[in-house]
Structure 1
Amino acid sequence: MKITENFTDSLSEYPLVLSIGMFDGVHIGHQSIIQKLNVIAATKNLQSAILTFWPHPRKVFNPNEDLKLLNTIDEKKYLLQKNGLQQLFLKEFNQDFRNLTAEEFVKEILVEKLQVKHLIVGYDHTFGKNRSGDFALLKKMGPEFGFEVEQVQAVNYNDHHISSTQIRNALSNGNVIYANEMLGYNYSISGKVIHGKKIGRTIGYPTANIEVDLIKLLPKKGAYIVDAFVKNLHYKGMLSIGTNPTVQGDSLSVEVYLLDFDEDIYGKEISVNFRKFLHEEIKFNGLEELMVRLDEDRRLTSEFNF
């Protein structure tokens, strides 16, 4: 997949079949659009492409909003490439870009810079200053500028439209199984292993503290069964998101205990996939109570069918 970042002075080398959007999560609805792009690209001798933005436009419109995303930019690149996309155009969403009218966006970006010949948009897609552009405008401008346009409907799951917002809500409620079903893969976080308070090792449960990208959405506080990957090796794990109230913790941490693992991995990268929510964050009356619960969580994790 070829990646072009902030293409101010760049032109696409090939005519494109393009879709536009944030594609946060690259969920099964997004995957169906990419499949459609690839089929049209093969049929019409075009290249499949997506135009997406960074930062998220909501951060520009509402800079004080604490918006968390399903993917970091590197995760999004990986998922788009994995789904067979040929070109990714990553545009900085700034005030100048925000002020382009819908007509200017079509002429200057889609036609002149990207050579779009076929455009696929979502059922609710709007664009341009004050969101004045929509499917009807694209249909009107298409013949004049030599591109076709089609609109795709949302993919439904359990009588709900699949959307990044639906997935964020599911994760925020601890419903990782439902989120994973909508994503089409297991939600993950990754980061460097950093030093923590090292209380876990004193009770036989040494944990790896994960430094997570600040833009990344963390699921609901509590304990989870996870897959963990360290140095390309797979381990079963149980992960905690919370403030460690039993030992008077005061800051949020993400800690994972790996079954059948005993290595020093400080400074190493670790990735975990969420598989099942175990329970809410609990404040125990002491370390003995905590150990009893950890023993039970370990039993449930070891018996889980990964």
Structure 2
Amino acid sequence: MKVFKNFSDYSSHKPLALSLGMFDGVHLGHKSIIDELIKTGSENNLETAVLTFWPHPRFVFNPNEDLKLLNTVEEKKFLLEKYGIDHLFLKEFDEEFRNLTGEEFVRQILIEKLHVKYLIIGYDHSFGKNKSGNFELLKKLSAELGFEVEQMEAINIHENNISSTKIRNALLAGDIKRANEMLGYSYSVSGSVVHGKKIGRTIGYPTANIETDSIKLLPKKGAYIVEVFLKDRKYKGMLSIGTNPTVNGEKLTVEVYILDFNDDIYGEDITVSFRDFLHDEIKFEGLEKLIEKLDEDKKLTEEFVF
């Protein structure tokens, strides 16, 4: 997959089948759009593309909003490439771009610069200044400008539409299984292993502290069963998100105890995929009670079928 930050860097002899939007999470709703793009591209000799934006427009319009995202840019690139997209346009959401009307965006960007022949948008997608671009506008312009447009229906699970917001809410509720069901894969968090207070090693549960990207959404505080990816190998693990209240901690940390593992991995990159929720964050009366609970969590993790 080729990635372009400027439209002027792009050139191709083939026209495009394209979709636009944030694609945060690249969830099953997005996957249905990608599958349709690839099918249409194959049938009509078109290359496939996704046009998305950085920073997220909500960061621009609501700079004080504490919005956390399901994907970092690198994760989004990985997923779109994995699903078979040919080109990714990662457009800066700057002042000039945000002031384009929906019609200007279609004429100046989609047609003049990108030569789009087939456009797919989600069931609720709007674009352009004051959300002036929508499916009705695209239908009106399509005959004049020589492109086809399709609006995808919402993808439902248990009679509920899938959306990035619903996935965020599930993660913030600790409902890992529901979030993963909507995503179509296990939600993951990556980062580098940094030094912590090293309390875990004194009680037989040494943990790796993970320094995560500040824009990445963390599930609710608590303990989780995770799959750990490290140095091209995978392990079972139990992960804690919280402040370690039993030892009067204050800073929010992400710590993982890796089963059957005892290497020094400071500075290494690590990824954890969330598989199940164990329990909320607990303040224990002392370390003995904490160790008892860790022993229970370890048994559940060992028995969990990945």
Q: What is the TM-score when the length of structure 1 is the normalising length?
A: 0.98
Q: Whole-Å Cα distance in 1 between the matches of residues 132 and 304 of structure 2? A: 50
Q: Whole-Å Cα distance in 2 between the matches of residues 115 and 162 of structure 1? A: 30
Q: Whole-Å Cα distance in 2 between the matches of residues 34 and 298 of structure 1? A: 39
Report matched runs for 1:53-132 at 5 Å: 53-132=53-132
Deviations 1:97-120 (A, max 9, x none): 111111110111100111000110
Q: Whole-Å Cα distance in 2 between the matches of residues 224 and 70 of structure 1? A: 18
AA matched with 1:42 = S
AA matched with 2:94 = N
Residue aligning to 2:187: 187
Residue aligning to 2:231: 231
AA matched with 1:38 = I
SS at match of 1:30: helix
Report matched runs for 1:119-268 at 5 Å: 119-268=119-268
SS at match of 1:192: strand
| Distance apart, 1:128 and its partner CA | 0.8
Q: Whole-Å Cα distance in 1 between the matches of residues 210 and 40 of structure 2? A: 41
**How large is the RMSD of aligned CA atoms in angstroms?**
0.8
Q: Whole-Å Cα distance in 2 between the matches of residues 272 and 64 of structure 1? A: 29
Q: Is 1:274 the equivalent of 2:278?
A: no
CA contact (8 A) 2:111 2:145 kept: yes
Post-superposition, which runs of at least 4 consecutive aligned residues in structure 1 deviate over 2 A?
9-12
Deviations 1:157-212 (A, max 9, x none): 01100011110000000000110011110000011000000000000000000000
Q: Whole-Å Cα distance in 2 between the matches of residues 234 and 127 of structure 1? A: 41
| Distance apart, 1:10 and its partner CA | 3.3
Q: Whole-Å Cα distance in 2 between the matches of residues 6 and 237 of structure 1? A: 41
Q: Whole-Å Cα distance in 2 between the matches of residues 184 and 150 of structure 1? A: 23
AA matched with 2:206 = P
SS at match of 1:24: coil
Q: Whole-Å Cα distance in 2 between the matches of residues 57 and 153 of structure 1? A: 24
Residue aligning to 1:10: 9
Residue aligning to 2:288: 288
Q: Whole-Å Cα distance in 2 between the matches of residues 12 and 107 of structure 1? A: 17
| Distance apart, 1:6 and its partner CA | 3.0
Residue aligning to 2:297: 297
Deviations 1:124-176 (A, max 9, x none): 11111100111111011111111111111110001100011110000000000
SS at match of 1:60: helix
CA contact (8 A) 1:12 1:115 kept: no
Deviations 1:207-237 (A, max 9, x none): 0000000010000000000000110111110
| Distance apart, 1:11 and its partner CA | 4.1
Q: Whole-Å Cα distance in 1 between the matches of residues 204 and 159 of structure 2? A: 45
AA matched with 2:116 = V
AA matched with 2:170 = A
Q: Whole-Å Cα distance in 2 between the matches of residues 71 and 241 of structure 1? A: 18
> Where does the alignment leave 5 or more consecutive residues of structure 2 unmatched?
none
SS at match of 1:144: helix
Q: Whole-Å Cα distance in 2 between the matches of residues 12 and 213 of structure 1? A: 33
